[in-house]
Amino acid sequence: MAEEKKMGRPTDNPKGRPIHVRLDAEADAILEAYCARENVTRAEAIRRGIYLLKNTRG
């Protein structure tokens, strides 16, 4: 059988690994302020934080 193509927008960087975290009030406020200042989604802000960890920790 031929493989069926998935529907949706094509992308070079699919994001199929969800993660769920609980934040305290201070961490949530920091995240919200960053998102508002940079005009990004919460998910994008968290991705940026993860890459920042990679780049600063080696």
Q: Using one digit for the tens of pLDDT, what is the confidence trace for 43-57?
A: 999 999 999 999 996
* Residue 1 predicted with pLDDT over 60: no
pLDDT digits (tens, 9 = 90+) for 6-55: 677 778 888 889 999 999 999 999 999 999 999 999 999 999 999 999 99
Please report the pLDDT score of residue 8 as a whole number: 74
Name the pTM for this structure. 0.74
Q: Which runs of consecutive H residues, i.e. helices, occur in 1-58?
A: 25-38, 42-57
Can you tell me which residue has the tokens 């609980």? 22
Q: Which residues of 8-22 are buried (b: 16+ CB within 10 A; e: fewer)?
A: eeeeeeeeeeeeeee
Q: What is the CA radius of gyration of the chain?
A: 16
